[in-house]
Amino acid sequence: MLRKDSFPSKKPLVANWETLSKVFLQPENEEAKTTLIKYMEQILFGLHEFLKKHVGITEEISLKELAENFTDTHIHRTPQKKLTEVITDLIQNVAPHAVNVASPYFVGHMTSALPFFMVHLKTITAALNQNVVKIETSKVFSILEKQVLAKIHRLIFSFEDSFYKTHVQHTDTALGCFTENGTLANLTAFWASRNHLFPPCNGFDGIGTEGVHAAYQTYSVDRCVILVSRRGHYSIKKAAGVLGIGNNNVIALDVDSNQRIDLEHLRKTIQDILNHQPKTRILAVVGIAGATETGTVDPLMQLAEICRLHRIHFHVDAAWGGPTLMSEKYRHLLDGIQYADSVTIDGHKQFYMPMSCGMVYFKDPHALEDVAYHANYIVRQGSVDLGIRSLSGSREANSVVLSSALDIMGTEGYALLIDHGIETARWFAEEIERRGDFELVSRPELNILLYRLFPAALKIAYDCGNQEEKRRIHHQLNAINQRLQRLQREAGKSFVSRTTLQKGPMEKDEMVVLRVVIMNPMTSPGILSKILDEQELIYREKITGLNQAP
Ligand SMILES: Cc1ncc(COP(=O)(O)O)c(C=O)c1O
């Protein structure tokens, strides 16, 4: 149970100008400094104790029980706790019920351990509290952000030196922008592309100013579509919803047997629109570089060529896979990304930054002009105010975290992490194939893979069975894998996630699969073996009964 009020204060705490000035001023003497350092130690090392002990979501206390401890809807009039009490309470009573995403046994999601120094870097941004919306509240930090943007732009597009010399600190151009996350990065890309598709003309002031209805009328358009494979992240639908394009106009194209976009389906869809739907505009084709569920990479080179041929905006969602570009060994997996018009990359994924950091990059340094906003008191014409070309207003100086991390790690350091993830995932795929009771569902291209428990006895029955028998076993396997994932999560020793693919004996069948994301450098083959051993054991001891049921 949560321990409440573990620090009954001896003296009632009061809010007055004396205590307030202590909170706002720098520590006034050595004693106060020592106390603050002690608090930081408490945070860093106290939390480490928690990180050592717990993995994943443990069911020692259920979500329902937890929720019962958080129903106080009043703000107290008087102070309740001192900082030291708050920190201790968080460490002792709250952190143990958080999820230990740093455990090497936590391999279910795209959130993992951080390099230790990230906590220090994040503390610096909080301590300086710069706001990069405008130069007046950030100065060098806005300039530093432009430099980092140019570094990552170069990583993606590799333009000539002269290009970067011109644009790195140009006040009227932008090579990209930081956003809160990948969702807003994707939204920014489609926002720019939408505004570019419906620019001002003959008395029409552009879609941003006049809205979707006026734009469609002016350009004789009924609808806009975004073309992406079925593996597209749901943030693309969100963007279409927000931009007035409509969720239904994100067209989910088929995938091939490797879960990559079916190029024939894409070509046919484009031809059909061009030949028979004169009032439909294609806002963008999206190539995925590291699909959320399968980690697969679409054939970016071919997609780029199709988009070039038809002059369609080519967006690459590399929220996950982007940092693969730092690996000499595996950057070729993203070949074609350099021809994208826009690219999304998340900092809190494979740049190992703390939550949260998204980025979007544009090949054309003028592309963000289509979404530029000005105000009289800030974001003035011709200023370096980053808020001019950014969906967010006030924003932390997250770029300093990325910039410093790049200095500390170098591309070689990051490449070690990327290579480890890819190579460990390949090893894991082989191990799954070596074991008789599992089936590999998607071969890892990057560091994500899907598999399921498929007991050998059922495999034989499945292979020999007729269609009806195959479907029966298919549903049985779904139930087994769903239960297995839940039981393993509840046991709290390790965590893999679960998703559903459209796959099975019949066209519309759904397949429940286990999903593993390998990004923690401490996740070794030995640990992955233990995770499979545990799954075999759970199956034998707790699930085999399901086998018998028709
Ligand atoms: C491919 C892809 N695109 C976009 C996103 C959205 O990113 P975020 O969760 O940072 O908003 C994700 C998140 O997992 C993703 O995997």
8 A C-beta contact, residue 494 and residue 55:
yes
* pLDDT of res. 381: 74
Nearest C-alpha to atom 4 of ligand 1 is from which residue? 182
Whether 440 contacts 506, CB under 8 Å? no
Amino acid 227: pLDDT: 98
The predicted pLDDT at position 54 comes to 63
Alpha carbons 10 and 85: distance in angstroms, whole number: 12
> Which residues, judged by CB distance below 6 Å to any ligand atom, belong to the binding site of ligand 1?
110, 181-183, 186, 233, 235, 288, 290, 292, 317, 319-320, 346, 358
358 CA from centroid of ligand 1 (Å): 9
Structure tokens at 426: 């390949």
pLDDT attached to residue 1? 44
> Which ligand 1 atom minimizes the distance to the CA of 346?
10
Residue 46 CA to ligand 1 centre (angstroms): 31
- The predicted pLDDT at position 549 comes to 44
* pLDDT (0 to 100) of residue 550: 41
pLDDT of residue 45: 81
Site of tokens 């879609």: 207
φ and ψ of 499, to 5 deg: -145, 180
In sequence order, the 6+-apart residues with CB closer than 8 A to the CB of 237 are 247, 250
Q: How many Cβ atoms from other residues are within 10 Å of residue 147's Cβ?
A: 13
Ligand 1 mean position, distance from CA 411 (Å): 23
Q: Which of 183, 298, 334 best tests ligand 1's pocket when mutated (most atoms within 8 Å of CB)?
A: 183
Residue 340 alpha carbon to ligand 1 centre in Å: 18
CA separation, residue 268 to residues 184, 271, 274 (Å): 30, 5, 10
Distance 517 CA to ligand 1 centre (A): 14
Q: Which residues contact 19 (CB under 8 A, 6 or more apart)?
A: 13, 79
Rounded Cα distance between 528 and 540, Å, is 19
- Report residue 240 as tokens: 């279409």
Distance of CA 446 from the midpoint of ligand 1 (Å): 16
Residue 270 contacts residue 284 (beta carbons within 8 Å):
no
User: How high is the pLDDT of residue 58?
Assistant: 60
E strand or H helix that includes residue 253: strand 250-253
- Ligand 1: atom nearest CA of 186 is 4
Q: What is the pLDDT of residue 92?
A: 84
Pocket test for ligand 1, best of 178, 230, 235, 298 (most atoms within 8 A of CB): 235
Six token digits for residue 62: 């259920």
HSE-CB at 238 with a 13 A cutoff on CA atoms is 11
For residue 144, what pLDDT is reported?
98
Supply the pLDDT for residue 6: 52
**Ramachandran angles phi, psi of 339, nearest 5°:** -100, 5
Q: Where are the beta strands (DSSP E) in 167-246?
A: 176-179, 223-229
Regions of the chain with pLDDT less than 70: 1-10, 25-28, 53-59, 378-379, 545-550
Cβ proximity of 247 and 240 under 8 Å: yes
Q: How far is the CA of 182 from the centre of ligand 1 (A)?
A: 5
CA 299, CA 334: separation in Å to the nearest integer? 8
